[in-house]
């Protein structure tokens, strides 16, 4: 993906009421797959690159909008600014322009209603703004077009000279602001920024738009967006976890979710099951949910002496609450004892059922006599987990 040039800003207009959609909330605050359209648009913008973000919203929804900006912004980015819009789209863009930072030189104007616009399109528009010209993404017109007068078809229209405009539309900052001043003076209303910019004498070029950047206007559009998101493959994430425990203490060994009668136990808070602990860290790491110390450490005495089923069951719950499903887990431990292969299937079954059924595979290896596992002092475990954002 091309880089968004430095000193760019995006004005996301989200102040419309959405009369054609007819929802209870203004259109940008309507939910699509658990997130508002505004949030989808913001996430697209952040994925495109670092820019000043200005969201223009209906009066009375400033606080909700600010929460959306904070939720959408990566931790290291300024979430941006919320301003109140006007009676028309043009007035809303004008309100957004007033909030531009002093050093901004490229301005994108983007409809929140084009909630699924690919980040690559946003970045491509921004980087195509060079010199004095504006840039819009546009798609060829596919329908056969007719000129009509009431119900009478009066003639054909040559579609080869037409294109359907999308957003974001990008402009050099000073020229766009000048065009807005001119529009204010003339009192003319334009349906998009490119028309307003051209009316003030500006040159506008087009680049390729995309099907996913369609504007959500009616319920059928919202349904189309829902279907596109439902088809989206889950985003996989991986995590790694390691654990080491020394042999020692009283009782029997617990390892890989099984009790091993006659084997020396591993020492540690809980039952010392280093295989289970490494799995917990791999899963929490994959989901970005911290680590085992945070959720199960000595600050949580309820887990003292707990076995793998408790740790893994709670971990699976934490992931589910955060919207992750477990793909699979692969674990290997290094140690001379216990002799593992005869009980591998049993262990895998126990660990898998503790995780709610996700496949878990476990292997064991010795270290050729080297290191603490080789000397029989303890066990070292490495686990890798794959999770899916659902």
CB of 189 to ligand CTP, least distance (A): 11
Q: With binding defined as CB under 6 A, does residue 204 bind ligand CTP?
A: no
Which lies closer to ligand CTP via its Cβ, residue 39 or residue 277? 39
> Which of Mg ion, ligand CTP, none binds 17 (CB below 5-8 Å, type-dependent)?
ligand CTP
Per rule CB under 6 A, is residue 15 in the interface with ligand CTP? yes
Residue 65 or 360: the one with the smaller Cβ distance to ligand CTP is: 65
The Cα–Cα gap between 240 and 250 comes to 30
Q: Find the binder of ligand CTP among 205, 215, 224, 343 (CB under 6 A).
A: 215
Q: Site for ligand CTP (CB under 6 A): which residue of 4, 18, 194, 326?
A: 18
Cβ 94 to ligand CTP shortest distance, Å = 10
- Binding flag, residue 87, ligand CTP (CB under 6 A): yes
Q: Is 241 in the site for ligand CTP (CB under 6 A)?
A: no
Q: Does 191 bind ligand CTP (CB under 6 A)?
A: no
Nearest to 249 by CA among 232, 267, 233: 267
Q: Judged by CB under 6 A, does residue 14 bind ligand CTP?
A: yes
Instruction: Please classify residue 51 by burial: count the beta carbons closer than 10 Å to its beta carbon, then call 0-12 exposed, 13-18 middle and 19+ buried.
Output: buried
Report the nearest approach of ligand CTP to the CB of residue 86 (Å): 6
> What gap in Å lies between CA 30 and CA 17, rounded to an integer?
11
Of 87 and 230, the one with the shorter C-beta distance to Mg ion is 87
Residues 8-37 binding Mg ion (CB under 5 A) are 16
4, 9, 10, 13: residue in contact with ligand CTP (rule CB under 6 A): 13
Pick 86 or 327: Cβ nearer ligand CTP: 86
Asked if residue 112 binds ligand CTP (CB under 6 A), the reply is yes
Please tell me whether residue 88 binds ligand CTP under the rule CB under 6 A. Answer: yes
Q: Does the footprint of ligand CTP cover residue 85 (CB under 6 A)?
A: yes
Q: Name the token pair of 284.
A: 């929490």
Report d(CA 65, CA 55) in Å as an integer.
Answer: 8
One symbol per residue from 24 to 53: x for binding ligand CTP (CB under 6 A), - otherwise; what is it? ---xx-------------------------
By CB under 6 A, tell whether 89 contacts ligand CTP: yes
Number of chain residues interacting with ligand CTP (CB under 6 A): 23
Taking CB under 6 A as the binding criterion, the range among 87-95, 144-152, 325-333, 361-369 that sits at the site for ligand CTP is 87-95
From the CB of 214, what's the least distance to ligand CTP, in Å? 11
From CA 145, how far away is CA 50, in angstroms rounded?
40
Q: Is 88 exposed, middle or buried (0-12, 13-18, 19+ CB in 10 A)?
A: middle
Binding piece for ligand CTP, criterion CB under 6 A, among 15-23, 61-69, 121-129, 154-162: 15-23
Within residues 337-376, the interface with ligand CTP by CB under 6 A covers none
Between CA 106 and CA 100 the distance in angstroms is 10
Site for ligand CTP contains 190 (CB under 6 A): no
Instruction: Using CB under 6 A, pick the residue from 20, 77, 339, 375 that binds ligand CTP.
Output: 20
Q: Does 84 bind ligand CTP (CB under 6 A)?
A: no
- The site for Mg ion (CB under 5 A) is made up of 16
- The site for ligand CTP (CB under 6 A) is made up of 13-21, 27-28, 56, 85-89, 92, 111-113, 215, 217
């Amino acid at each position: 993906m091309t880089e968004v040039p430095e000193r760019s800003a995006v004005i996301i207009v989200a102040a419309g009421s959405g009369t054609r959609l007819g929802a209870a909330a203004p259109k940008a605050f309507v939910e699509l797959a658990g997130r508002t359209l505004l949030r989808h648009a913001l996430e697209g913008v952040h994925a495109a690159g670092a820019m000043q973000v200005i969201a223009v919203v209906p009066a009375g929804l400033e606080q909700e909008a600010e929460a959306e900006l904070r939720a959408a912004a990566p931790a290291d980015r300024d979430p941006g600014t919320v301003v109140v819009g006007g009676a028309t789209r043009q007035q809303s863009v004008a309100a957004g322009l007033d909030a531009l930072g002093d050093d901004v030189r490229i301005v994108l104007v983007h409809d929140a209603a084009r909630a699924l616009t690919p980040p690559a399109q946003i970045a491509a528009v921004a980087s195509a703004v060079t010199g004095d010209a504006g840039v819009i993404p546009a798609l060829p017109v596919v329908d056969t077009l007719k000129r009509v007068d009431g119900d009478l078809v009066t003639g054909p229209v040559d579609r080869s000279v037409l294109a359907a405009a999308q957003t974001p539309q990008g402009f050099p900052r000073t020229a766009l602001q000048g065009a807005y001043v001119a529009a204010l003076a003339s009192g003319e209303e334009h349906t998009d920024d490119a028309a307003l910019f051209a009316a003030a004498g500006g040159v506008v070029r087009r680049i390729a738009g995309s099907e996913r950047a369609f504007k959500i206007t009616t319920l059928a559009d919202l349904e189309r967006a829902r279907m596109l998101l439902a088809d989206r493959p889950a985003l996989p994430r991986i995590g790694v976890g390691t654990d080491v425990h020394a042999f020692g203490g009283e009782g029997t060994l617990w390892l890989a979710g099984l009790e091993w009668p006659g084997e020396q136990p591993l020492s540690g808070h809980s039952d010392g099951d280093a295989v289970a602990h490494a799995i917990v860290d791999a899963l929490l790491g994959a989901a970005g949910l911290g680590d085992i110390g945070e959720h199960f450490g000595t600050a949580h005495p309820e887990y003292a002496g707990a076995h793998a089923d408790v740790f893994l069951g709670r971990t699976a719950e934490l992931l589910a609450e955060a919207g992750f499903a477990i793909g699979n887990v692969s674990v290997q431990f290094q140690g001379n004892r216990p002799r593992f292969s005869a009980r591998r299937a049993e262990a895998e079954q126990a660990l898998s059922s503790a995780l709610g059924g996700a496949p878990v595979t476990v292997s064991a290896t010795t270290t050729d006599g080297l290191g603490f596992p080789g000397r029989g002092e303890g066990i070292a475990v490495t686990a890798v987990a794959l999770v899916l954002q659902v």
